Amino acid sequence: MSHSVFIDGEAGTTGLQIRQRLARLPHIEIRSLPEGERKNPDAKRALMAEVDVAILCLPDDAAREVVALADAMGDAAPRLLDASTAHRLAPGWVYGLPELSPAQAEAIRTARRVANPGCYPTGVILLLRPLVDGGIIPPDFPISVHAISGYSGGGRTMIEAYEAGRGRDFELYGLDFQHKHLPEMQHYAGLTRRPIFIPSVADFAQGMIDMIPLHLDALPGRPRVGELLDCLRRHHAGSEYVTVLEGDPKDRLEPQALNNTNRIELRVYGHEGHRQALLVARYDNLGKGASGAAVQNLGLMLGVPVETRLAA
């Protein structure tokens, strides 16, 4: 059985990589609008009435406009998969992180509307949520997150600057403590206290690392490093895309190792003598952090096998 998909915003970075992943699948028909019709609401409405799923790879305000258009279509509207930030905490939307809990994949399968996770929150949530649910990290514990991403996650202006040789080697940003991913990160990690989140960008296109340091004796149960590792392994056991690894102190992690895949590696480093630990997630900000995750969710929504890896 063939399924039809409309990628609204297919010319952008996320939309382009979704299209490239889906193009190899004979059971997925990708529908498009002519370039001159892409902002025509009547043309968009007509196409949306003909497809099974519309994937929104748009700025937040534009995504909200398309959702309003779908609302007006009633039963004729397709299912929606939104890759923007607009609906990740909105009522009526299912969060598109299948590994969040044992029930999440089924919730995505049956949802009419799925909000694809943000790139930075994906690793943070997959590290923290199992530890919060497992009682190791209290919901009100003070958490700090440091992260680095390739410039492809920064939007068209940043991408053009780096590709023209005008980007800096490394930059901290989000120093107003108001990064748009913070509400999503806090909510789905199960935290009641707003975490401190300091992102950074460097001169490489794709790849991401999230880092969360912990003082083990500040946690109520004073856990050992191995308890953190065991909790993550139990939660993610059997996952197709999540691998939990014991951190080797000799590691030299670089952020690009999983580029063009939908894989994510979670590591736990620690020193029992100093009672310190570091949680680390490594993945592709355009893979499990965006396009790969969207294709994974689409496969669940349609009940079909998909290819989440980007062709070489």
**137-155 per-position pLDDT tens digit:** 999 999 999 999 999 988 8
| Range name among 23-37, 79-93, 117-131, 249-263 with the lowest pLDDT average | 23-37
Q: Are strands 276-283 and 208-215 parallel, antiparallel or unpaired?
A: antiparallel
**DSSP secondary-structure letter at 60?**
H
pLDDT of 207 over the 90 cut = yes
Query: Residue range 248-261: average pLDDT?
Result: 97
Task: Check residue 154 and give its pLDDT.
Answer: 84
Q: What percent of the chain has pLDDT over 70?
A: 100
Active site residue 231: no
What is the spatial distance between Cα 139 and Cα 189, in angstroms, rounded to a whole number?
Answer: 9
Task: Check residue 132 and give its pLDDT.
Answer: 98
Query: Residue range 202-226: average pLDDT?
Result: 97
What is the spatial distance between Cα 212 and Cα 83, in angstroms, rounded to a whole number?
Answer: 25
Average pLDDT in the chain: 96
Residue carrying the six token digits 């993550």: 232
pLDDT of 263 over the 70 cut = yes
Task: Check residue 208 and give its pLDDT.
Answer: 98
Task: Check residue 189 and give its pLDDT.
Answer: 98
User: Among the options 119, 191, 225, 310, which is catalytic?
Assistant: 119
pLDDT tier at 242, thresholds 50, 70, 90 = very high
- C-alpha separations of 195 from 84, 128, 265 in Å: 22, 11, 22
pLDDT tier at 157, thresholds 50, 70, 90 = confident
Amino acid code (one letter) for 11: A
What is the spatial distance between Cα 166 and Cα 163, in angstroms, rounded to a whole number?
Answer: 7
- Sign of the CA dihedral running 249, 255, 261, 262: positive
> In terms of C-beta density within 10 A (0-12 exposed, 13-18 middle, 19 or more buried), how is residue 136 classed?
buried
pLDDT of 311 over the 80 cut = no
Q: Which residues pair with 202 in a beta bridge?
A: 150, 170
Task: Check residue 196 and give its pLDDT.
Answer: 98
Task: Check residue 291 and give its pLDDT.
Answer: 97
CA nearest neighbour of 275 among 237, 223, 232, 231: 223
Query: Residue range 163-189: average pLDDT?
Result: 95
- C-alpha separations of 91 from 11, 53, 71, 115, 179 in Å: 29, 19, 14, 11, 21
Query: Residue range 31-60: average pLDDT?
Result: 94
**DSSP secondary-structure letter at 288?**
I
User: 3-class SS at 303?
Assistant: coil
pLDDT tier at 312, thresholds 50, 70, 90 = low
pLDDT tier at 210, thresholds 50, 70, 90 = very high
What is the spatial distance between Cα 132 and Cα 139, in angstroms, rounded to a whole number?
Answer: 6
What is the spatial distance between Cα 154 and Cα 13, in angstroms, rounded to a whole number?
Answer: 10
pLDDT of 14 over the 70 cut = yes
| Range name among 80-89, 135-144, 302-311 with the lowest pLDDT average | 302-311
Q: What percent of the chain has pLDDT over 90?
A: 91
pLDDT tier at 75, thresholds 50, 70, 90 = very high
What is the spatial distance between Cα 291 and Cα 262, in angstroms, rounded to a whole number?
Answer: 8
